[in-house]
Structure 1
Amino acid sequence: MTQQSGHAAQDAAPPGRAGRRPGATQTRDEIVTSARRLFAGKGYDATTIRAIAADAGVNPSLVYHFFRSKEGVFTATMELPVNPAELLPALVGNGPREQLGERLVRVLLRCSSTCATGGRPRC
């Protein structure tokens, strides 16, 4: 086998599927846009990571790289300052049920004040 034929196999890979895109990357935003469109059109249950990736023109592993899960993509499309899945266990498990409303208000106020100052929410 010659060196030239080895390169031909690499060149045969489908374009846009392997490696980094040239130029400035807006991939994360493109994934969010695709996900938002699919979630709105098909609903959460019918939308898959593969469908989101295909619509955005990326490999599904890149979606997992940016968002870790379908839930993470969904949270990003909603532009929530925190992931509800991370917030709820702390609320429910940290005190009596009767004080849940008070804990929720405190957490939301803490989150909104952090967001208002341009910081990352620390809820």
Structure 2
Amino acid sequence: MKRTLIVGASSNPSRYAYLAAQKLRNYGHPFLLLGRRKGFALGEEIHTEQVAWEDVDTVTLYINPSHQPDYYAYIISLKPNRVIFNPGTENPEFKNMLLAKNIIPIEGCTLVMLSVGQY
């Protein structure tokens, strides 16, 4: 199972980040939540501080590229195997930074990847 950090997590069930958490749970992948506002999603706490979690396999982004620079160093410090840029989060600058650190950037949709068995 791939421990996943959702950046841009939301307690709103209509948001894609919430739906991703739901689908990750359905497929048995543990997840961590980082958002701009405190709250809960599926009974899990949404953290607002950049926690130094260990064993994060995947980071999936649900934040606008204009907000991503605040997270560059943090995400790289987690040493994930990959970072998924969901639609609307694509960022060539961050992608190149990840490649330089041997972290795989993926432009895709977490929901689709899980549904078709490519997660």
Tell me the TM-score normalised to structure 1 length: 0.23
Greater share of helix:
1
Structure with bigger RCO (C-alpha 8 Å, 6+ apart): 2
Query: Higher strand share goes to which structure?
Result: 2
TM superposition score normalised by structure 2: 0.23
Structure number with bigger Rg: 1
